[in-house]
């Protein structure tokens, strides 16, 4: 499932491959589930647009589009959310079109951008130029004071708070569990119950985990691949996520799995308080 490190890897890969290219034509499949903007509007905005650059905002991929024929004047933003199983691939036209392909953008260079999403939790939309904002704070290098402030008075479990994109945009199930383990905090703890010291540790843990995961090209669980179809390898460094019953790397106690707000949560009962 693509979270911040995976989306960062994909967005950087896409930027490298398609920045400066021009979208000549767009095909959109019949499924409307992955479309947050009407299909006709997406096609109209993308066709004839130049991709200025592609970057990550929260868990979203944002492509800044300009007028290819009018001095690169800003046109719109193409916002892509990969959901659980979404992929945005750069492909050659002759490569086979895989099942669950919902959009194909033909580029002037001859390459194609293909959006593939079996489970259709992903979303495509177009918004006015320079308008897209993540709902919450950027976890990387977030202001420490602001970070602590986010959890004040919240009765919800810290795990749920970390997954709440309106607070922090970009953290998902993997990195929430991994960060809480490194900070020594149990996922069910009420967010408001965290001490100042614990909030500091959590902040540091998030920075560390995200930086390491980005360096590793993300975690390939489920069907995550980057823009080139390559897998990341941070899953090899997971200390608790999907390690139920396996020994904690620190104390050998079997890792526990519980369900919080419908999401599986993994932790060490001895190392996390």
Catalytic residue, chosen from 17, 59, 159, 186, is: 59
Q: How far is the CB of 263 from DNA (least distance, A)?
A: 5
Catalytic residue, chosen from 2, 34, 157, 187, is: 2
Q: How far is CA 40 from CA 11, 27, 36, 205, 229, in A?
A: 25, 10, 12, 44, 28
Coil, strand or helix: which one is 80?
Answer: strand
The DSSP bridge partners found for residue 15 are none
Q: How far is the CB of 268 from DNA (least distance, A)?
A: 17
- Token representation of residue 78: 């193409």
Q: How far is the CB of 2 from DNA (least distance, A)?
A: 8
d(CA 52, CA 67): 10
Q: How far is the CB of 87 from DNA (least distance, A)?
A: 12
Q: Give the interface with DNA as residue ranges (CB under 7 A).
A: 1, 3, 33, 58-59, 81, 83-85, 99-100, 118-121, 135, 153-157, 160, 163, 165, 172-174, 259, 261-264
**Is 59 marked active-site?**
yes
Name which of 17 and 60 has its Cβ closer to DNA. Answer: 60
Name which of 107 and 267 has its Cβ closer to DNA. Answer: 267
**Is 263 marked active-site?**
yes
The DSSP bridge partners found for residue 36 are none
Residue 34, Cβ density class (10 Å: 0-12 exposed, 13-18 middle, ≥19 buried): buried
Name which of 71 and 153 has its Cβ closer to DNA. Answer: 153
Residues sharing a CB contact under 8 Å with residue 227, sequence separation 6 or more, in sequence order: 10, 13, 14, 17, 88, 89, 90
d(CA 246, CA 249): 9
Catalytic residue, chosen from 3, 112, 178, 198, is: 3
Site of tokens 């693509």: 2
Residue 176, Cβ density class (10 Å: 0-12 exposed, 13-18 middle, ≥19 buried): buried
Greatest distance between any 2 Cα atoms in the chain: 63
Q: How far is the CB of 111 from DNA (least distance, A)?
A: 25
Name which of 48 and 136 has its Cβ closer to DNA. Answer: 136
Name which of 85 and 87 has its Cβ closer to DNA. Answer: 85
Residues labelled as active-site residues: 2-3, 59, 263
């Amino acid at each position: 499932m693509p979270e911040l490190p995976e989306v960062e890897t994909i967005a950087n890969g896409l930027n490298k491959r398609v920045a400066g290219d021009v979208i000549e034509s767009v095909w959109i499949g019949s499924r409307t589930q992955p479309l947050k903007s009407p299909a006709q509007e997406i096609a109209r905005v993308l066709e004839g647009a130049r991709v200025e650059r592609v970057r990550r905002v929260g868990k979203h991929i944002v492509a800044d589009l300009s007028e290819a024929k009018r001095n690169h004047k800003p046109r719109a933003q193409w916002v892509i959310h990969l959901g659980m199983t979404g992929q945005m691939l750069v492909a050659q036209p002759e490569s086979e079109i895989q099942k669950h392909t919902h959009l194909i953008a033909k580029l002037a260079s001859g390459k194609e951008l293909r959006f593939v999403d079996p489970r259709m939790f992903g979303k495509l939309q177009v918004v006015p130029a320079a308008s897209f904002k993540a709902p919450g704070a950027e976890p990387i290098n977030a202001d420490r004071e602001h970070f602590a402030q986010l959890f004040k008075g919240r009765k919800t479990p810290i795990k749920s708070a970390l997954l709440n994109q309106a607070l922090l945009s970009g953290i998902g199930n993997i990195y929430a569990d991994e960060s809480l383990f490194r900070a020594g905090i149990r996922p069910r703890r009420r967010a408001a119950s965290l001490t100042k010291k614990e909030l500091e540790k959590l902040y540091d843990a998030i920075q560390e985990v995200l930086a390491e995961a980005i360096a590793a090209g993300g975690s390939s669980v489920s069907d995550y691949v980057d823009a080139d179809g390559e897998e990341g390898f941070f899953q090899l460094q997971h200390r608790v996520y999907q390690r139920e019953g396996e020994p904690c790397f620190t104390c050998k106690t079997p890792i526990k799995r519980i369900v919080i707000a419908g999401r599986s949560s993994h932790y060490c009962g001895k190392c996390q308080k």
